[in-house]
């Protein structure tokens, strides 16, 4: 016996956590292999424009406008979530192998959009699969999931370091690394605990059910509506440092005083400190949520984004390196306190029959609408307000990075100021299904 749990059951519980840990590790290894370094490959190897890069980064948002919700609906009604998850990962692997063969930015947009259409719904599906397995095992997801999810961040770090240390930061080989991981995860997904559809014919009586719009009923709740709107607004900021952080540091190589510094040569590793920070802050989520509630945690996230961008604005790879490192540490709070806490909040508030759809809706608002607006507006703004098009991009820093990061910091500050009086909910409601069960 271990704390009232039979040894056999205790061992099975650990095995379940291990299986879900492997899933999360590979899920974010795929993304980490290229997300931080595609900008370096784009600008320093391909020498393509910032506007077209903004369009490329918007593909994850465009795909999230519809694919997570569609995948969630399919998983809620017709197909086991883990099987759908596996199919999408295998299809994504095929597209990632194809990416290095594309030589024009206009075609790259469509290929990356297809890749994102397969990848983005797997994020919410992996959450649905994990939550379902943990609940069926009688575990509290608020306590059990963060230590599992932290291995997703470790996977992201492992991929980033692999790509950086192998010299793939400016090479298309980064996409082949991601493709191999995606294929492996796709096959592994078919061994995961079954996550069967929750909606049957008798349940699907409403027009919203028949149209696949079930999760949108959450907007009838004022607090949920405010939550999703701010999730969209904050989603616009989530990927900005991932999109431009590595390029920002690489630009210092054009200044002789900084060119040979390790933070410039291995910029992706410096940026990956952000993911190390994630691993720490994920583990604090249960404490902060139960002690302070979702409103305080979301506000902390927004204020952390202000610091994240502000410190980048004043940092450099030499005397100002501490600012960049501190910014990366703060990123853990900025990202986790919004992304992971938000998914747990949605899980606690949604009807059990539509939880996969609800997670898809959360993805729709953050990585969909928010990311599209953030990528396109940021790309346009950087090109038109913060870029000197008269200078030579190959030998000079043509972007006003100080102004860029300060503009992003101001945006996050305005969100925090507006969020505090508008969002009323203080704590997540108790969810009987998520409470620990006696073994």
| Position 1 pLDDT exceeds 60 | no
Q: What percent of the chain shows pLDDT beyond 90?
A: 35
Greatest mean pLDDT among 46-50, 295-299, 389-393, 424-428: 295-299
Domain boundaries, the chain: 7-197+208-428
For residues 219, 135, 157 and 114, what is the CA-based torsion angle, rounded to 10 degrees?
Answer: -50
Q: What is the 3-state secondary structure (H, E, C) of 29-90?
A: HHHHCCCCCHHHHHHHHHCCCHHHHHHHHHHHHHHHHHHHHHHHHHHHHCCCHHHHHHHHHH
Half-sphere exposure of 168 (CA within 13 A, CB side): 20
Give me the pLDDT at residue 199, please.
61
- Report pLDDT digits (tens) over 105-130: 889 999 999 999 999 899 989 988 99
Q: How high is the mean pLDDT of the chain?
A: 84
Q: SS3 letters for 82-122? A: HHHHHHHHHHHHHHHHHHHHCCCHHHHHHHHHHHHHHHHHH
Q: How confident is the model at residue 439 (pLDDT cuts 50, 70, 90)?
A: very low
pLDDT over 50 (residue 2): no
State pTM to two decimals.
0.73
At residue 236, what are phi and psi to the nearest 5 degrees? Answer: -65, -25
Q: How far apart are CA 297 and CA 310, in angstroms?
A: 20
Query: Please, which pLDDT band fits residue 20 given cuts at 50, 70 and 90?
Result: very high
pLDDT digits (tens, 9 = 90+) for 301-311: 999 999 999 99
Q: For 270-286, what is the mean pLDDT?
A: 85
Per DSSP, the chain holds a count of helices (H) and strands (E) of 18, 0
Q: In the predicted model, is pLDDT for residue 353 greater than 60?
A: yes
Q: Could you tell me the pLDDT band of residue 9, with boundaries at 50, 70 and 90? A: low
Q: Does domain 7-197+208-428 have CATH number 1.20.1250.20?
A: yes
**pLDDT tens, position by position, 24-47:** 999 999 999 998 888 888 877 787
SS3 387: strand
DSSP string, 135-148: HHTT--HHHHHHHH
What's the CA gap between 215 and 72, in Å, rounded? 9
Give the tens place of pLDDT for each residue, 36-86.
Answer: 888 888 877 787 776 788 788 788 878 877 787 788 778 878 899 999 999
Are 230 and 244 in contact by the 8 Å Cβ rule? The answer is: no
Which residues are CB-contacts of 8 (< 8 A; sequence separation ≥ 6)? none
């Amino acid at each position: 016996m271990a704390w009232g749990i039979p040894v056999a059951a205790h061992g099975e519980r650990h095995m379940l956590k291990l299986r879900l840990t492997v899933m999360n590790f590979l899920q974010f290894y795929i993304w980490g292999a290229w997300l931080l370094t595609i900008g370096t490959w784009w600008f320093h190897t391909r020498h393509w424009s910032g506007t077209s890069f903004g369009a490329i980064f918007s593909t994850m948002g465009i795909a999230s406008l519809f694919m997570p919700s569609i995948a969630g609906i399919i998983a809620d009604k017709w197909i086991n979530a883990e099987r759908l998850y596996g199919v999408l990962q295998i299809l994504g692997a095929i597209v990632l192998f194809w990416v290095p063969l594309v030589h024009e930015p206009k075609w790259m947009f469509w290929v990356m959009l297809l890749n994102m259409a397969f990848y983005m719904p797997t994020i919410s599906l992996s959450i649905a699969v994990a939550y379902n397995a943990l609940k069926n095992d009688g575990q509290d997801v608020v306590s059990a999931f963060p230590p599992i999810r932290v291995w997703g961040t470790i996977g992201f770090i492992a991929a980033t370091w692999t790509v950086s240390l192998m010299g793939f930061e400016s090479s298309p080989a980064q996409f082949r690394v991601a493709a191999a991981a995606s294929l492996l995860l796709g096959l592994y997904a078919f061994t995961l605990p079954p996550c069967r559809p929750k909606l049957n014919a008798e349940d699907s009586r409403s027009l919203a059910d028949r149209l696949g719009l079930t999760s949108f009923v959450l907007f009838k709740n004022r607090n949920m509506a405010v939550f999703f709107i701010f999730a969209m607004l904050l989603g616009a900021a989530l990927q900005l440092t991932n999109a431009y952080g590595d390029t920002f540091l690489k630009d210092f190589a054009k200044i002789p005083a900084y060119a040979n510094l390790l933070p410039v040569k291995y910029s992706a590793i410096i940026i990956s400190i952000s993911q190390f920070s994630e691993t720490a802050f994920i583990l604090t989520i249960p404490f902060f949520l139960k002690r302070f509630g979702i409103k305080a945690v979301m506000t902390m996230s927004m204020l952390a984004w202000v610091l994240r961008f502000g410190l980048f604005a004043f940092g450099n790879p030499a005397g100002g390196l501490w600012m960049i490192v501190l910014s990366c540490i703060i990123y853990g709070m900025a990202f986790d306190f919004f992304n992971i806490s938000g998914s747990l909040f949605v899980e606690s508030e949604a009807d059990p029959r539509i939880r996969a759809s609800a997670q898809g809706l959360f993805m729709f608002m953050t990585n969909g609408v928010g990311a599209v607006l953030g990528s396109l507006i940021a790309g346009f703004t950087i090109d038109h307000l913060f870029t000197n098009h008269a200078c030579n991009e190959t030998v000079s820093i043509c972007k006003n990075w100080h102004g860029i990061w300060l503009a992003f910091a101001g945006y996050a500050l305005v969100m925090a100021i507006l969020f505090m009086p508008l969002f009323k909910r203080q704590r997540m409601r108790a969810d009987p299904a998520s409470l620990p069960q006696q073994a």
